Amino acid sequence: MEAARDFDFTDRHFDNFRKMVSEHTGIALSDAKRELVYGRLTRRLRKLSLDNFDDYTNYILENSEDELSNFINAVTTNLTSFFREDHHFRYLADKLIPELLHRNRASRRIRVWSAGCSTGEEPYSIAITLRESIPDIDNWDVRILATDIDTNVISKGENGIYDEERITGLSSGRIKQWFFKGSNKQAGKVRVKPELQQMITFKQLNLMTEWPMKGLFDILFCRNVVIYFDKPTQKVLFERFTGQLTEDAHMFIGHSETLYNVSERFQLLGKTIYRRIR
């Protein structure tokens, strides 16, 4: 297998890239990610017409502002789908939104943060759930902030255009109500409707840097994000999340994630569903 490689990829190369990822994103790449890193970065070498990974390391250092973003985009994994982990959206519709409509009836304001939003399916699923659950939503101030470290996926989410196969799991009623189907050159594509796009602001954000948001959020979706961080980093991150949430805010995390031995600032309500403790 090693002999078949187009480029020599040693332990030193992998460790250097792991260190760079950790320093700039907080993500801890395990040994199991070695082949993924090799495959993703090989594409960068070919695109830049570089001969080896030493040259690529130097290229990042010499062109840090531009290539560091490409490097991070290449090695961070983005996996998502519409209404992934559907029980979260059922809880949002059946339990949380009615509670928020009562609690925020004076301000008529709801804020949601989709942290690690990837290509946008999660925030659009949230937007659909909110619109389906709040009959007079246009008389409310409802906004969703969607952030990710990867500028490429942020751009895709902002465009709101997807392959038609991405929505095959949705009901025909939802598809008709919330998506336009493409024709001619756009055949096989769908685009989310403007009333969903208008609810969402997509922004690039590195969770390890300063956060520019001033207001507090009622709901936080941070699913399958912290699994890439080590425990000390997770503890710091969840403490920071606490400071960005309203007193009774709810948080949704990924199916393989837990706050056990990470944070005592949240109360477990159901499977990977938490409420901030006052």
Amino acid identity, residue 50?
L
The string of DSSP letters for the chain reads -GGG-SS---HHHHHHHHHHHHHHH-B---GGGHHHHHHHHHHHHHHHT-SSHHHHHHHHHHTHHHHHHHHHHHHS-----TTSSHHHHHHIIIIIHHHHHHHTTTTTEEEEEEET-TTTHHHHHHHHHHHHH-TTGGGSEEEEEEEES-HHHHHHHHHTEEEGGGGTTS-HHHHHHHEEEP-GGGTTEEEE-HHHHTTEEEEE--TTS-----S-EEEEEE-SSGGGB-HHHHHHHHHHHHHTEEEEEEEEE-TT---TTT-SSEEEEETTEEEE--
Told to judge if 86 belongs to the known catalytic residues of this protein, a careful annotator would answer no
Determine which one of 34, 40, 166, 191 is catalytic.
40
Determine which one of 44, 84, 131, 148 is catalytic.
148
Told to judge if 40 belongs to the known catalytic residues of this protein, a careful annotator would answer yes
Which of 250, 254, 255 shows the shortest CA–CA distance to 266?
Answer: 250
Q: Which residues are catalytic?
A: 40, 148
